[in-house]
């Protein structure tokens, strides 16, 4: 072979190698781009089954005699959901989303979207409007089942929230701020989140953009199956901040079936009042770290009482599932049916033991199941940095609250800092619980609160019931 031929052969080989490397790089870019989901087909198929829901209340706010001032739950929904701006003696309007379950017009949405409504209007994707009636509502799970008189409607398919994995892509469709058929996407950020607001729901946490008006809309997996119902956001501004929460489909399905059959939901009941175990309490009980649910009260002749649970016990496992946080216990109880028998592992007098309990049925009047405390407040200690900036020695920050709790009724707001209760300085949640637990039914305590760099007193009253 001549030298010229050899040189040409080398050049050809180099070109082939260059083309091969380029092809590999292009394939690599293709794989990276291909790893991002294409939601267009999902949206086209699911969109027709998504509805807009508006609720109208003609009556003046029965909870609000103060000439149009915001009702106690208003701050909660301004932070987490879809409350309208209060108006002077005007009919109240709510706005939310929902989706069609059956071809003859069953629709699922959030309870808080329709709870106060005298008239409910459902607008379909094709712009047809129907008046809806309520089949059943469940405040504890924040779900409501509606019915419109229609036929041949498009429906959505249920998926399993249990099979979802953290990091998996999900998509939401709803009507934020009234912008119908708005699509947002993100990933599952966490599972089985226990919030202070809805203690029977093990929420899905996502970073999908959810805003007022999205409530009640579906959360989809990549197969186009409904795996959640968008319900709340956690925010310090009233808008989306990357923390969105959805009711898992497995929880919703159980609620829907019971609402269809009974018009209400029957839930298991343990019959205890629990509180969080902080580091100080953990040390006092001989625990290596803060874990479990501390039983502060046992309902006389309730399931826990009959099983032998006592005040001062720390529940470490419920039906073989570890309780790392007290808020994790109520959703576990709620997964069961009345009459189920469960095994409870506990710490008593420094010793671990176990017992079996037969769960009862949650009485109708008990709207706050297994409440960590009757205030309904979600509190956390003030950080040293924030305490220094506010020039205080310590306190508890209100991070959230139940609309049904005494904290919301007192006028407390998310972001408030509780400095003292009944003249006692508060440095930990244990301090706070110690003081308020001494209050009798109907009694009040004065909270010293820091708000907008000003201090004020707020009366916190324990409910009569």
Hey, which residues are catalytic here?
112, 142, 215
Do the beta carbons of residue 121 and residue 112 sit within 8 Å? no
Do the beta carbons of residue 140 and residue 265 sit within 8 Å? yes
Structure tokens, 179:
């912008």
Do the beta carbons of residue 174 and residue 216 sit within 8 Å? yes
- Residues 283-299 as b/e (b if ≥16 CB within 10 A, e otherwise) read eebebeebbbbbbbebb
Within 81-198, residue ranges assigned H as helices are 111-114
How far apart, in Å, are the Cα atoms of 315 and each of 237, 271, 324? Answer: 36, 13, 10
Name the nearest CA neighbour of 116 among 76, 58, 53, 156.
58
Structure tokens, 156:
């959505």
Beta strand 157-158 with 225-233 is parallel
Q: What angle is formed at CA 321 by the lines to CA 250 and CA 307, rounded to 5 degrees?
A: 105
Tokens 């629990």 — which residue?
274
Query: Helix-strand-coil percent breakdown of the chain, rounded to 5?
Result: 25, 35, 45
Structure tokens, 212:
């007022």
Do the beta carbons of residue 279 and residue 124 sit within 8 Å? no
Beta strand 351-358 with 341-348 is antiparallel
Q: Which residues pair with 246 in a beta bridge?
A: 204, 230
Q: Which residues pair with 317 in a beta bridge?
A: 322, 345
CA distance 325 to 314: 11
């Amino acid at each position: 072979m001549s030298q010229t031929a050899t040189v040409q052969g080398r050049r050809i080989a180099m070109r082939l190698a260059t083309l091969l490397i380029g092809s590999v790089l292009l394939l690599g870019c293709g794989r990276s781009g291909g790893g991002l989901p294409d939601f267009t087909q999902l949206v086209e198929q699911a969109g027709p089954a998504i509805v807009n829901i508006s609720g109208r209340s003609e009556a003046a706010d029965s909870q609000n005699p103060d000439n149009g001032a915001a009702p106690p739950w208003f701050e909660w929904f301004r932070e987490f959901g879809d409350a309208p701006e209060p108006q002077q003696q005007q009919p109240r309007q709510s706005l939310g989303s929902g989706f069609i379950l059956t071809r003859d017009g069953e629709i699922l949405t959030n309870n808080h979207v329709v709870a106060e409504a005298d008239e409910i209007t459902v607008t379909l994707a094709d712009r047809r409007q129907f008046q809806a009636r309520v089949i059943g509502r469940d405040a504890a799970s924040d779900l409501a089942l509606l019915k419109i008189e229609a036929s041949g409607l498009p429906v959505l398919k249920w998926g399993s929230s249990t099979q979802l994995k953290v990091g998996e892509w999900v998509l939401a469709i709803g009507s934020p701020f009234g912008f119908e058929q708005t699509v947002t996407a993100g990933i599952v950020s966490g599972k089985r989140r226990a919030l202070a607001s809805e203690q029977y729901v093990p929420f899905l946490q996502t970073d999908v953009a959810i805003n007022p008006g999205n409530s009640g809309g579906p959360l989809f997996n990549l197969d186009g199956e409904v795996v959640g119902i968008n319900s709340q956001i956690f925010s310090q501004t009233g808008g989306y901040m990357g923390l969105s929460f959805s009711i898992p489909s497995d929880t919703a399905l159980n609620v829907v079936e019971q609402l269809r059959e009974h018009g209400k939901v029957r839930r298991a009941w343990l019959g205890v009042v629990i509180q969080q175990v902080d580091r100080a309490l953990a040390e006092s009980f001989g625990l290596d770290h803060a874990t479990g649910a501390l039983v502060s009260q046992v309902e006389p002749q309730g399931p826990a009482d009959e099983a032998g649970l006592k005040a001062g016990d720390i529940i470490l496992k419920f039906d073989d599932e570890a309780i790392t946080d007290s808020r994790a216990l109520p959703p576990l109880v709620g997964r069961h049916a009345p009459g189920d028998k469960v095994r409870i592992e506990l710490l008593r007098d420094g010793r671990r033991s176990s017992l079996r309990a037969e769960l009862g049925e949650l009485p109708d009047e008990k709207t706050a199941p297994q409440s960590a405390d009757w205030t309904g407040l979600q509190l956390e200690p003030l950080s040293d940095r924030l305490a220094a900036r506010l020039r205080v020695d310590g306190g508890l920050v209100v991070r959230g609250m139940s609309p049904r709790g005494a904290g919301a009724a007192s006028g407390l707001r998310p972001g408030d800092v509780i400095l003292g209760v009944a003249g006692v300085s508060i440095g930990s949640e244990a301090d706070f619980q110690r003081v308020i637990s001494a209050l009798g039914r109907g009694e009040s305590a004065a909270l010293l609160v820091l708000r907008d760099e000003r201090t004020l007193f707020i009366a916190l009253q324990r409910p009569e019931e």
